[in-house]
């Protein structure tokens, strides 16, 4: 792929060509060589033409899949695959019917350890929230890289009754907010070496072609998060660092965006604090510790 043609699509120019559902991190993963297949969609004839132009410019192959998802009364999304490797495109096409299967994730180029962890979680009868499961599998007492932050990545997570409605409410509360990740999959651990290496490759491509966009996404993903569930969490406007006796200390200036479905009283309680101290167990302690609903986990992204 030629750099000038890549720059046409990985561009911060609002007048540049756009494909509605193609995320910059996905395309950057293809450019970085981290992935060779992208699962995306097109909406309407104009969007389909823009996708065809992108594929022609970048020398990508396209496979149209069968599923159509209604967007509103007038439009529907048509799922497609685009990529550089015909064999992997066909493998992804064959496994499309089972979107939570191991074969699907591997065909999209996701690390095998992460694919297997997701499938195991999804098949578990006693599964909690995926983010909480990943956090439990991550090292304690030290910050996590922003590269693996998936708190706002809802891909493959909206499958419970009521999830679409809650997700729509979250989007409505944050119409102009960037909720995107760096890596487009869910890591097996926030310290997964393969996800960190791939994320760095994707991020470097974004920095090269879209430096302002990349800086903004890093700033958002580098903030610590108090997490209850996928719709109730608080992104803290500050930094996490190692604290005494294996704990963590968060210096913060209240709650940052996005706005979530967390109760207003809990947000207000956090807004009144400038320092939060967490013990080795992950629970708040010390004088002035806020009274919070139980069941939270600190995700010390940095």
pLDDT in tens, 188-199: 999 999 999 999
Q: Which domain holds residue 74?
A: 1-96
- pLDDT given for residue 67 in this prediction: 65
pLDDT of 124 reads: 86
Q: What is the mean pLDDT of residues 138-165?
A: 92
Predicted confidence (pLDDT) at residue 99 exceeds the cutoff of 70: no
pLDDT tier for residue 71 given thresholds of 50, 70 and 90: very low
Residue 11 banded pLDDT, cuts 50, 70, 90 = very high
Percentage of residues of the chain with pLDDT beyond 90 = 74
Tell me if 13 is assigned to some domain: yes
Asked, for residue 8, whether it belongs to a domain, the answer is: yes
Is 2 inside a domain boundary? yes
- This prediction has a pTM of 0.92
Cα separation, 287 vs 275, in Å, equals: 11
Q: State the pLDDT at residue 72.
A: 44
**What are the angstrom distances between the C-alpha of 179 and each of 75, 210, 265?**
23, 16, 24
Does residue 150 lie in a domain region?
Answer: no
279 CB burial (10 A radius; 0-12, 13-18, 19+): middle
> Among 108-117, 119-128, 236-245, which is the least confidently predicted range?
119-128
159 has pLDDT over 90: no
249 in Cβ contact with 300 (< 8 Å): no
Average confidence score pLDDT of the chain: 91
Q: Judge whether 91 lies within some domain.
A: yes
pLDDT of residue 73: 44
Peptide linkage before 229 cis (omega within 30 of 0): no
Give the mean model confidence (pLDDT) for residues 222-251.
93
Percentage of the chain beyond pLDDT 70 is: 96
Report the pLDDT value the prediction gives residue 75, as an integer from 0 to 100. Answer: 53
- Is residue 199 a part of any domain in this protein? no
Classify residue 25: in a domain, yes or no.
yes
Helices (H), the chain: 3-9, 24-32, 44-58, 86-95, 102-107, 112-123, 130-136, 163-173, 193-209, 211-221, 264-271
How high is the pLDDT of residue 300? 96
- Residues 142 and 139: their CA atoms lie apart, in Å, by 7
Tally the domains of the chain.
1
Q: Is pLDDT above 90 for 97?
A: no
The answer on pLDDT for 252 being more than 50 is yes
Top pLDDT among 97 and 261 is at 261
Q: Would residue 26 count as lying in a domain? A: yes
CA distances from 235 to 103, 259, 278 (A): 34, 9, 16
Indicate if the pLDDT at residue 299 is higher than 90: yes
Helix (H, G, I), strand (E, B) or coil at 23: coil
Is residue 74 over pLDDT 90? no
- For residues 276 and 236, the answer to whether their CB atoms sit within 8 Å is yes
| Cβ(105)–Cβ(119) below 8 Å | yes
């Amino acid at each position: 792929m030629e750099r000038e043609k890549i720059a046409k699509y990985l561009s911060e120019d609002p007048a540049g060509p756009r494909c509605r559902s193609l995320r910059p991190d996905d395309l950057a993963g293809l450019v970085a060589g981290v992935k060779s297949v992208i699962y995306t969609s097109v909406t309407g004839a104009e969007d389909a033409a823009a996708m065809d132009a992108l594929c022609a410019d970048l020398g990508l192959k396209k496979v149209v899949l069968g599923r159509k998802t209604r967007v509103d009364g007038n439009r529907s999304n048509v799922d497609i695959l685009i990529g550089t490797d015909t064999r992997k495109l066909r493998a992804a096409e064959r496994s499309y019917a089972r979107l939570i299967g191991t074969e699907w994730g591997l065909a999209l180029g996701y690390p095998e350890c992460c694919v297997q962890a997701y499938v195991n979680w999804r098949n578990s009868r006693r599964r909690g929230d995926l983010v909480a499961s990943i956090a439990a599998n991550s090292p304690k007492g030290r910050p996590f890289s922003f590269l693996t932050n998936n708190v706002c990545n809802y891909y493959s997570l909206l499958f419970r009754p009521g999830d679409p409605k809650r997700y729509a409410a979250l989007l409505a509360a944050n119409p102009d907010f960037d909720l995107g990740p760096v890596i487009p999959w869910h890591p097996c651990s926030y310290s997964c070496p393969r996800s960190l290496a791939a994320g760095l490759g994707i991020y470097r491509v974004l920095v090269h072609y879209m430096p302002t966009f990349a800086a903004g996404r890093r700033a958002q993903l580098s903030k610590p998060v108090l997490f209850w569930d996928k719709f109730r969490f608080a992104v803290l406007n500050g930094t996490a660092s190692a604290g005494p006796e294996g704990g963590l200390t968060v210096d913060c200036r209240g709650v940052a965006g996005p706005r979530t479905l967390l109760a207003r009283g809990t947000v207000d309680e956090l807004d009144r604090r400038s320092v939060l101290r967490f013990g080795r167990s992950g629970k708040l302690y010390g004088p002035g510790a806020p009274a919070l609903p139980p069941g939270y986990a600190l995700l010390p992204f940095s």
